[in-house]
Amino acid sequence: MKTVAVCGMTIAMAFLQNNLAAGQGRSRTALSYLERADKELQSGSFDRAISDYGIALQFDPKSAHAYINRGLAEQSKDMLDSAIEDFSRALGLEPTAADAYLDRANTRCLKDDVEGALADYDAALRLRPKMAKVFYNRGNLRFGLGDFDAALTDFTSAVDNDSHYVAAYNSRGFVRQEMGDFAGAVKDFTQAIKIDSRHAEAFANRGIVQLQQGRTTDGDRDIAHAIALNPSLQPLIDRRIAEKLHR
């Protein structure tokens, strides 16, 4: 059960919340469309959000906020080229917008533009060196490339900068499992579970590692608990067990 993403399948999108300070200097009409579009983006109404961000940009064509969030909506609709264009427009307006670099990197990753994605992740970290979600997403990409050492370093940086980053602990545990560091993997999965006691994937991953260690009782218990939390994981767990224990 692969819990780290291969090139952006699981990405931490940066959603820019609108606020009064960001709205200063914009027309009331543009701000009203931005607020409505933000709500539509959050609710998953991506087509409506794209339309409303477009209207807001007609009133305020220098709104980096609108370009970034429209890019996120376009990304969700698999309109990847349009999303990259919007993130680039936002960066033209606000060159220090680290979130825009992150979002463009994630979108480039979805297009298999590895070089472009890595360049954007690096640019985001130059602006915000402690931005945990950048380390996490870059770690996903590096893992997908088979660079386990670099992925491990990135996931470690993610949890160093955000000690409650459940996904990063879970992903680091998965990398450690792949590298044969079973004790380290169990430690990371356990930490993820301590933070989120209902994290089914962490229970499943820990259970599989324990089976690899010969700790059958502990492994079976964790796997049963994972399935109780999320029954849809059963086929993935069975596949992972077959991969790891029955080669």
What is the structure's pLDDT at 22?
Answer: 44
Residue 3 lies in a domain: yes
Q: What is the rounded average pLDDT for all residues in the chain? A: 91
Per-residue model confidence as pLDDT tens digits over 97-136: 999 999 999 999 999 999 999 999 999 999 999 999 999 9
CATH assignment at residue 204: 1.25.40.10
What is the count of structural domains for the chain?
Answer: 2
What is the structure's pLDDT at 67?
Answer: 98
Identify the domain boundary among 93, 128, 163.
Answer: 128
Same domain, 4 and 100: yes
Per-residue model confidence as pLDDT tens digits over 184-234: 999 999 999 999 999 999 999 999 999 999 999 999 999 999 999 999 999
Task: Quote the CA–CA distance of 180 and 7 in Å, as a whole number.
Answer: 22
Task: Quote the CA–CA distance of 103 and 109 in Å, as a whole number.
Answer: 10
Same domain, 40 and 99: yes
Same domain, 99 and 25: yes
Same domain, 242 and 162: yes
Q: For residue 210, what are the domain limits?
A: 147-247
Task: Kindly state the DSSP code that residue 179 receives in the 8-state scheme.
Answer: T
- Answer whether 53's CB lies under 8 Å from 37's CB: yes
Same domain, 165 and 235: yes
- Answer whether 175's CB lies under 8 Å from 193's CB: no
